[in-house]
Amino acid sequence: MLSVVLGGDNPVALPLILALEKKGFIIIASVATPEAVDELERAGRGYVKALVLDPFEVRQLHTQKLTTLVTVSLRHT
């Protein structure tokens, strides 16, 4: 199962992300800074992927789609 969480670096998001991961979800979360990527991914147990999302940067969409596919494959390897 896959869940996408927008605003993963919001203080209320971390408990939600960790609870979903504990229930077996793979989590893709958007964050505002590269530093937040490291913090969020370290908090999880290997099934949380954080991405810096700039909604005004269209070129990011291809990278995010590829990252989503790789993240989904984590459970199946």
Residue 64, pLDDT score: 62
Q: What would the pLDDT profile of 33-53 be if each residue is shown by its tens digit?
A: 889 999 999 999 999 999 888
Q: What would the pLDDT profile of 18-35 be if each residue is shown by its tens digit?
A: 999 999 999 999 998 889
Q: Which residue has the higher pLDDT, 69 or 10?
A: 10
**Alpha-helix residue ranges (DSSP H) falling in the chain:** 13-22, 34-43, 60-73
Give the CATH H-level superfamily of domain 2-76.
NAD(P)-binding Rossmann-like Domain (3.40.50.720)
Contacts 24+ apart (CB under 8 A), 9-15: 9/33, 9/36, 9/39, 9/40, 9/50, 14/40, 14/43
Predicted structure pTM score: 0.72
Extents of the domains making up the chain: 2-76
